[in-house]
């Protein structure tokens, strides 16, 4: 049902936008930019937040990467971006930045077959691929000052760079890395923890304030609580699936 609801929202964006100007859309619905890769995962959270904000309708506008999403916001084509954006000071010079509504664990992974890299110290002087929406090149250089950070728009592109031996390790969202454990060997400890924020267009102070109220952590009715619980459940299920695979392998060896 959730997939059907999400599909309906995306279809309605296209049908409603055709033949109408931007002003008429914005009067009818709160227009939110979301990452195309994560839009389905964000749908529940956005639904709960907008309900708490007493906004009857919203529309999702998917974008390919952080730069294209921010351009939509700067050009006035959307009201906000809710896409697990990590807080950084430079964002505050261009947008209204929400209070943190979650956290993103950042971790490091290399190819499973790489037998030369086992510790963070082994990455000194290496080419490291990072996902800009998860961590910045400056953060990478703060940890490995003599490394060579290169950006990839998504995890699949990052893995390709590793397979082509154009990079040694990936620095990205820990949960996303865990979901690709068949390709990667994840370092055991998280590298960093970033605050997740939403971005609002300059002049949207009222919307920002309502959003901040909706996700306030000490509010038991806040959608952030159920959202965080879903993320924890997803992580636990991933770990259980990995344990199940290990058990099946061990059982096979005992036969």
pLDDT digits (tens, 9 = 90+) for 75-128: 999 999 998 788 877 888 899 999 988 888 889 999 999 989 998 889 999 999
Three-state DSSP class for residue 88 = coil
Angstrom distance (rounded) from CA 60 to CA 226: 21
Mean pLDDT of 200-217: 88
> 103-192: which CATH architecture?
3-Layer(aba) Sandwich (3.40)
| Selected residue with higher pLDDT from 147 and 255 | 147
Residue 96 CB burial class (10 angstroms; 0-12, 13-18, ≥19) = buried
Strands (E), the chain: 30-35, 58-63, 80-86, 96-97, 102-111, 127-130, 148-151, 169-173, 184-186, 192-200
Q: Where are the domains of the chain?
A: 2-102+196-241, 103-192
Q: How confident is the model at residue 155 (pLDDT cuts 50, 70, 90)?
A: confident
Q: How many CB atoms lie within 10 A of CB 90?
A: 9
Please say whether the dihedral angle defined by the alpha carbons of residues 117, 118, 121 and 123, taken in this order, is positive or negative.
positive
- pLDDT > 70? residue 230: no
Residues 6+ apart with CB under 8 A from 166: 127, 129, 150
CA distances from 128 to 131, 138, 177, 200, 209 (A): 10, 12, 15, 31, 38
Q: 2-102+196-241 and 103-192: same fold? A: yes
- pLDDT > 60? residue 9: no
| Selected residue with higher pLDDT from 18 and 161 | 161
| Selected residue with higher pLDDT from 232 and 111 | 111
Three-state DSSP class for residue 158 = helix
- pLDDT > 80? residue 248: no
Angstrom distance (rounded) from CA 149 to CA 141: 7
Mean pLDDT score of the chain, rounded to an integer?
78
pLDDT at 39: 67
pLDDT at 199: 94
Angstrom distance (rounded) from CA 135 to CA 133: 6
Mean pLDDT of 9-25: 36
pLDDT at 166: 95
pLDDT at 91: 87
Q: How confident is the model at residue 1 (pLDDT cuts 50, 70, 90)?
A: very low
Angstrom distance (rounded) from CA 4 to CA 158: 31
pLDDT at 146: 87
Angstrom distance (rounded) from CA 153 to CA 131: 6
| Selected residue with higher pLDDT from 243 and 201 | 201
Angstrom distance (rounded) from CA 177 to CA 164: 18
Span 2-102+196-241: which CATH code? 3.40.190.10
The pLDDT tens digits of the residues spanning 157-168 come to 999 999 999 999
pLDDT at 75: 92
């Amino acid at each position: 049902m959730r997939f059907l609801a999400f599909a309906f929202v995306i279809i309605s964006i296209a049908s409603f936008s055709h033949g109408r100007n931007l002003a008429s859309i914005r009067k009818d619905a709160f227009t939110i930019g979301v990452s195309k890769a994560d839009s389905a995962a964000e749908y529940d959270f956005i639904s709960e937040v907008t309900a708490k904000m007493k906004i009857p309708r919203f529309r999702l506008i998917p974008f390919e990467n952080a730069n294209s999403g921010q351009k939509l916001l700067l050009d006035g084509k959307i009201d906000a971006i809710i896409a697990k954006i990590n807080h950084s000071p430079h964002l505050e010079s261009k947008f209204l930045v929400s209070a943190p509504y979650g956290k993103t664990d950042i971790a490091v992974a290399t190819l499973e077959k790489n037998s030369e890299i086992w510790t963070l110290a082994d990455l000194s002087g290496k080419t490291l691929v990072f996902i800009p929406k998860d961590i910045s090149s400056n953060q990478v250089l703060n940890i490995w000052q003599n490394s060579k950070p290169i950006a990839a728009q998504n995890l699949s592109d990052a893995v390709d760079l590793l397979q082509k031996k154009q990079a040694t390790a990936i620095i990205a969202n820990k949960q996303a890395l865990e979901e690709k454990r068949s390709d990667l060997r994840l370092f055991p400890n998280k590298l960093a923890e970033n605050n997740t924020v939403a971005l609002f267009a300059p002049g949207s102070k009222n919307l920002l304030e309502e959003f901040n109220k909706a996700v306030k952590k000490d509010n038991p009715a806040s959608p952030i609580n159920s959202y965080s619980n879903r993320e924890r459940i997803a992580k636990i299920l991933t770990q259980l699936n990995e344990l199940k695979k290990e058990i099946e392998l061990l059982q096979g060896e005992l036969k």
